[in-house]
A = this chain, B = another copy of it.
Amino acid sequence: MGNIFIIGAAGKMGKWFFEYFYNIKYKSNSIENINDLSVGKIFLYDIKEIEYSSSYKDVDIIIANSISESIKLSDVVIFCTPVNEIINIINTNADFFRSRSILIEISSVKSTIHRILSDISTDRDIVTLCIHPMFGPGASTVISTNKIISIPVNKNKSKLEKDIFNKIFPNFNKILIENPEKHDLAISVVISLIYFINLVFSKFLVELSDSKEFKFEDNLMEFFKKISGSTFKIQSLLSESILTDDVSLFLTLFINNDKSIITIKKYHQLFNNLLDKIEKKDQEFIKKYVLSTRNDIKKDIDINRSYEMLYKFLNS
């Protein structure tokens, strides 16, 4: 692969990709099928301090001072920054990409960036990968079940894009989504909505701690953890976990993905509807609602197995 340049290296996913390529460079883990991949220098750039870099005393790991200079020296440039910054950097540095180099971007919203990638891939002799890792920075850099979505960019280079994607991520679970619109719509459900619900849940718990009704407990969080069972444990673990993500991810999900607001509003409408029936104590409606939802979900999913899986986790 030659030299690698990670832009946004201080962020959590930047660090993940650094470790991934570092492991490939030194074959220091058991990733299969990577023996034909060779990594030269690894350039790291960020406007923030790249804290982990100080623990690597290695002439091949270089903190870059200039984006353009490092782009000129690199065969693979990977963007781990918010979309707006990717666009800025590409616009001001398009001339510096090496011929036949590879540009990878991993953002969570694709509609805008996909057009930019498409343009540069058409205009120049470079290959662009529009991918979305469906795992967080806590994921192993070895485990092969990590999922990555890819969206084809340039029809005339589709085989090249596919070959390079397979070469760089040989053992991953690779999922193709045909176009950026479909990607953004799906992401608005499987990420944005869930981040929204859980962010509000955390905020709700914080506000509750200050509320009159709950003043009987000095440490309300501790009280809830102490008395609660499985459902609260899972929901709060999830809502705490999403808070470890970079703030820029929340902004990308909520503001840059224009499908998110539509999706969240759809959920909101159902929320309002059920809340209204509960206020009216409409027992028959709620009964039918639970039963019909259960029946509909059961058409596709073995809910008893889901229950067992959760309990397996909780008992572990």
List the interface of chain A (C-beta within 8 A of B).
Answer: 134-136, 138-140, 143, 147, 149, 175, 177, 182, 185-186, 189-191, 193-209, 213-214, 216, 219, 221-224, 226-232, 234-238, 240-244, 247, 250-251, 254-255, 260-261, 264-268, 270-272, 274-275, 278-279, 281, 283, 286-287, 289-291, 293-294, 296-298, 300-301, 303-304, 306-311, 313, 315-316
Contacts and interface: CB of A to CB of B under 8 A. Distances in A.
Contacts of A224: 186, 189-190
A301 B240 contact: yes
5 closest cross-chain pairs (CB), A and B: A134-B229, A240-B306, A190-B228, A221-B300, A190-B232
A243 B185 contact: no
Given A219-B300, A221-B300, A286 B241 contact: no
Work out how many copies of this chain go into the complex. Answer: 2
A204 B243 contact: no
A223 B186 contact: yes
Contacts of A309: 237
A11 to B, nearest CB: 15
